[in-house]
Structure 1
């Protein structure tokens, strides 16, 4: 489980360190930084897939994603005694992302490339990466240290160099994940690759979940929900079938869901009290179909270490939100969950759960901060120095 997330100089997240729990509820007004926080976490996940530089490019490049305000905001600026203005830069340009967990922590520092004869001079470079044991980085608990093109691993009380010519545009997860040379890198890479993000379930008329699909065993629902029926059948065979049926009845009392299989194609059928025939997926309302997608995603037989739900209330009737909160609470007993929401009824239901860690965001002078968090409330955190 992640215990701390730290972000510096990413869009409105000039400097943010969040304490995390088993179930994390991210709320805030429009424009407070919820989406930036979500995108920063997605960007952090891209390091393990070798795509962090490409992901930044899709967002407009490093110059577009960097904090656009002054390097330092003084007390007098906050009080309005002097205008918000920049000055001579004291520190190098750096976009930093990191987290600490129960076992290991990881941080990455991206910056501007050294001017050279290349057509890719706008690509950011990875300046530092570090993996450590414990809640925050110290010299005594560092396990892997990448500085530019050189990477070394802790070997007893000394360091052993394992690479001298790393590509500056690729994470060490891509170049060093070796069970013999750097087992900590491999462990961390596989853990991050297991993170699961759901933010784009389709429920429109042409949504793949509405159509029968060739079925294969599906312990993990796809990000767009196209394999819903196969995932449902997989849960019934190797997952918690009773919990699956209970989740349907909790949201739609008296209803049941079955999987129709014809010529290898799987499709859902929805039987509701009072109807003389079941409804196929193409006949379901957007809200009903989307809720069934959430049931399948949250009852996965292969729970990830981290699951992130971005605005799960989309297209749902408000009366379904208390049942969704119960569904999320049950899933949080098996995985660490992030829920980003602005639906007041879902927020209230989740906040009633004892395991809920509610984080409310706001903007002050265009930078995102946690409402009520004082300086001494922040978890201990140290970035690796360049």
Structure 2
């Protein structure tokens, strides 16, 4: 499983969280839930575009660094622990740390980066890669502690990330291990259904075998069509779930207005209506529900799936089903979910909830209450649901 440490990223002055299979961030707007999810977007952007474009996409270092306190901090730091590579384990996880530092030199600001990778082994040798300036140092430790480690140096561009450049190296230099880590981080998905985009027809790609659901569900119709075509059992379960929440729904079908090779639209057959309803004419909540169910039935999910405001636009009747399906899907992907819905929190277990709040200096407190203290409060609460305890302020992070 994944452990995350963050320092000085937007409202996250100092945050440390071990993540379980299902993790739900609860708290009002503005406490830092979205900023926590954006940490993973930031890392994915670094892999895809490198450090400077990832920073510029967030307004530069000044806008990306912690915004509270009297002045901008000099660095941003992110550290992750997980079992990415083949020989790692929960007892000997892989580790990655990334740090950007800003210094004033010759009357202007300069940025530098430091990175470190540790690939541990339960048995046998390990590997550590450290990057600073234009040099990457690769150190292989031996199986026997009395043997000297093997060290080699590799040149890099001054401000390029090892995540984006080291995967090109040979396996002996750590390229394969860094590539595995980078692929895992790049696959992390921050999902937020854009209903206006999800309504419309999807262009059919050349291959229907590996269709991935877009982070904003803009290709929802194509993904649903592909799921029905390639995984009929999952498709039937998805439709059954949708019918449970939408009693008027009888079935979901597909049409190809511009030809079967060009685009596909989803249509809903509903009780009492003589013509089907195109997704473009469906309700906001219906499209949100279908987008979330599509995500939960994805046959090839990433290692981590983040979901923005999962409850937004949904009837409370849908929440019970979504929590149940998310728990089932968490056997295949970790979830980090943001919500401010007490109704959804009511359906969670103490080990699934992370209470969020902000202090007087603008720093996010995540978690605002330890798991041990939360469980002790729940035990004394005589059966009150978590959402009610949170909403009343007993758990902190109140509205």
**2:223 equivalent to 1:223:** no
| Residue in structure 1 matched with residue 369 of structure 2 by the alignment | 372
* 5+ residue gaps, structure 1: 71-84, 378-386
State the 1:258 CA deviation: 1.6
State the 1:113 CA deviation: 5.2
State the 1:374 CA deviation: 9.3
Can you list the C-alpha shifts for 1:14-36, whole angstroms capped at 9, x where unaligned? 11111110011011122222122
| Residue in structure 2 matched with residue 129 of structure 1 by the alignment | 115
Q: Between the two structures, name the one with larger relative contact order (CA 8 Å, sep ≥ 6).
A: 1
- Contact 1:219 1:302 (C-alpha < 8 Å) held by counterparts: no
| Residue in structure 1 matched with residue 182 of structure 2 by the alignment | 189
Q: Distance in 2 between matches of 1:29 and 1:358?
A: 14
**2:162 equivalent to 1:172:** yes
Change (3 A) 1:341 1:134: farther
| Residue in structure 1 matched with residue 395 of structure 2 by the alignment | none
Deviating beyond 4 angstroms after TM superposition, the runs of 4 or more aligned structure 1 residues are 374-377
Q: Distance in 2 between matches of 1:108 and 1:312?
A: 29
State the 1:171 CA deviation: 0.5
- Contact 2:269 2:275 (C-alpha < 8 Å) held by counterparts: yes
- Contact 1:34 1:340 (C-alpha < 8 Å) held by counterparts: yes
Q: What SS does the corresponding residue of 2:52 show, helix, strand or coil?
A: helix
- Contact 1:150 1:161 (C-alpha < 8 Å) held by counterparts: no
Q: Distance in 1 between matches of 2:78 and 2:339?
A: 23
Q: Distance in 2 between matches of 1:152 and 1:283?
A: 57
Change (3 A) 1:149 1:294: same
Map 1:284-295 onto structure 2 (within 5 A).
Answer: 284-295=282-293
- Contact 1:208 1:226 (C-alpha < 8 Å) held by counterparts: yes
Map 1:245-324 onto structure 2 (within 5 A).
Answer: 245-253=239-247, 255-262=250-257, 263-264=259-260, 265-324=263-322
| Residue in structure 2 matched with residue 362 of structure 1 by the alignment | 357
State the 1:122 CA deviation: 4.8
237-246 or 189-198: which moved more? 237-246
Q: TM (normalized to structure 2)?
A: 0.77
- Contact 1:131 1:145 (C-alpha < 8 Å) held by counterparts: yes
Change (3 A) 1:123 1:36: farther
Change (3 A) 1:255 1:175: same
Change (3 A) 1:376 1:187: farther
Change (3 A) 1:162 1:245: farther
* 5+ residue gaps, structure 2: 89-93, 143-148, 375-399
Change (3 A) 1:250 1:144: farther
Can you list the C-alpha shifts for 1:34-90, whole angstroms capped at 9, x where unaligned? 1221222321232322333222223222123222445xxxxxxxxxxxxxx78xx9x
Change (3 A) 1:282 1:123: farther
Q: What SS does the corresponding residue of 1:244 show, helix, strand or coil?
A: helix
In the alignment of these two chains, the number of paired residues is: 343
Change (3 A) 1:57 1:64: same
- Contact 2:221 2:266 (C-alpha < 8 Å) held by counterparts: yes
State the 1:308 CA deviation: 0.8
- Contact 2:81 2:95 (C-alpha < 8 Å) held by counterparts: yes
State the 1:358 CA deviation: 1.1
Query: Which of residues 76, 94, 99 is equivalent to 2:75?
Result: 94
Change (3 A) 1:376 1:228: closer
Q: Distance in 1 between matches of 2:104 and 2:326?
A: 46
Q: Distance in 1 between matches of 2:271 and 2:372?
A: 55
Task: Give the alignment's Cα RMSD to 1 decimal.
Answer: 2.9
| Residue in structure 2 matched with residue 234 of structure 1 by the alignment | 226
- Contact 1:11 1:65 (C-alpha < 8 Å) held by counterparts: yes
| Residue in structure 1 matched with residue 326 of structure 2 by the alignment | 328
Change (3 A) 1:376 1:24: closer
Q: TM (normalized to structure 1)?
A: 0.80
Q: What SS does the corresponding residue of 2:39 show, helix, strand or coil?
A: helix
| Residue in structure 2 matched with residue 148 of structure 1 by the alignment | 133
**2:203 equivalent to 1:213:** yes
Can you list the C-alpha shifts for 1:256-278, whole angstroms capped at 9, x where unaligned? 21222341231111112333332
- Contact 1:232 1:259 (C-alpha < 8 Å) held by counterparts: no
State the 1:338 CA deviation: 0.9
- Contact 2:40 2:185 (C-alpha < 8 Å) held by counterparts: no
